Amino acid sequence: MDEFLNGVLTAPVATLFIIAGVLFLFIAVVGNISGKIEPGVTGRIASGVLGLVFVLIGLTIHLTQEAPRMPATSPEQIKLDQVAKVPQTTTARKTEVPSESIGSVPSTADKEPNDHIAAANLIAEGTTIRGSIATNQDRDFYKFNASSSTIRVILRKLSLPGFGATVEIYDAVENRIKRQTELGDQPVTLSFESNASNIYYIVVKSFNYDSRGDYELAVRKE
């Protein structure tokens, strides 16, 4: 009995109102409790109304007490949360590549045999291609479609201590329009005026009887 009384005394007010309301509603529905409480019709109606009122009061008190526990979110906090949920993207910076540097450009290998103009390997501007002069009579032919008014061709020697290399440029009707030779480890670099959409040919060959080695060839528009 003491525990029951302590439970009643320590119960929240909202809970007491709800329990009392349920009890009055029970009396209104059943009509009596073990023959000790026998309300008439008017008493049952009053008990039902009073029970509804107590239940509503208890629920109101309960909801009023729960509302302050919900943390209020300011518009500024909502904005911060939305920003925090947005995935951050990193923009890669483009690295400026000097016009004479061809080491960072993707490389491909030439396809033999390409030792005459009809078998020239097709390459694209901005591409680096690897090749090799194996003999004094070796010739490597390449062709490309120009897309600008000025084209630069760069040949860098990979074999040490280098070799004498000659690079020649021909137009679509096989007229030579440019030629340059460099000895040792010096790269061959030359530019020429071109017509967009025209085909041009590049010939890489040895300069003298003992000139042979590996190389990289790049074609760029300027």
Three-class DSSP labels, 124-162: CCCCEEEEEECCCCCEEEEEEECCCCEEEEEEEECCCCC
What residues in the chain have per-residue pLDDT under 70?
Answer: 1-11, 21, 31-40, 62, 65-107
71 and 113 part of one domain:
no
CB 204 within 8 A of CB 163: no
End of a domain among 38, 62, 77?
77
Indicate the pairing of strand 213-221 with strand 199-206: unpaired
Q: What is the pLDDT of residue 10?
A: 56
28 and 125 part of one domain:
no
216 and 111 part of one domain:
yes
158 bridge partner residues: none
88, part of any domain: no
99, part of any domain: no
60 and 146 part of one domain:
no
120 and 69 part of one domain:
no
Q: What is the pLDDT of residue 113?
A: 84
Q: What is the pLDDT of residue 35?
A: 58
d(CA 190, CA 152): 6
130 and 41 part of one domain:
no
216, part of any domain: yes
Q: How many CB atoms lie within 10 A of CB 108?
A: 13
Tell me the whole-structure pTM to 2 decimals. Answer: 0.51
Number of domains in the chain: 2
| The two three-digit tokens of residue 99, written as one number | 């016009």
Q: What is the pLDDT of residue 4?
A: 46
101, part of any domain: no
- Cα Rg of the chain (Å, integer): 47
The closest alpha carbon to 25, from 44, 12, 5, belongs to: 44
111 and 206 part of one domain:
yes
Q: How many CB atoms lie within 10 A of CB 180?
A: 14
70 and 114 part of one domain:
no
117 and 19 part of one domain:
no
Range of the domain at 117: 107-221
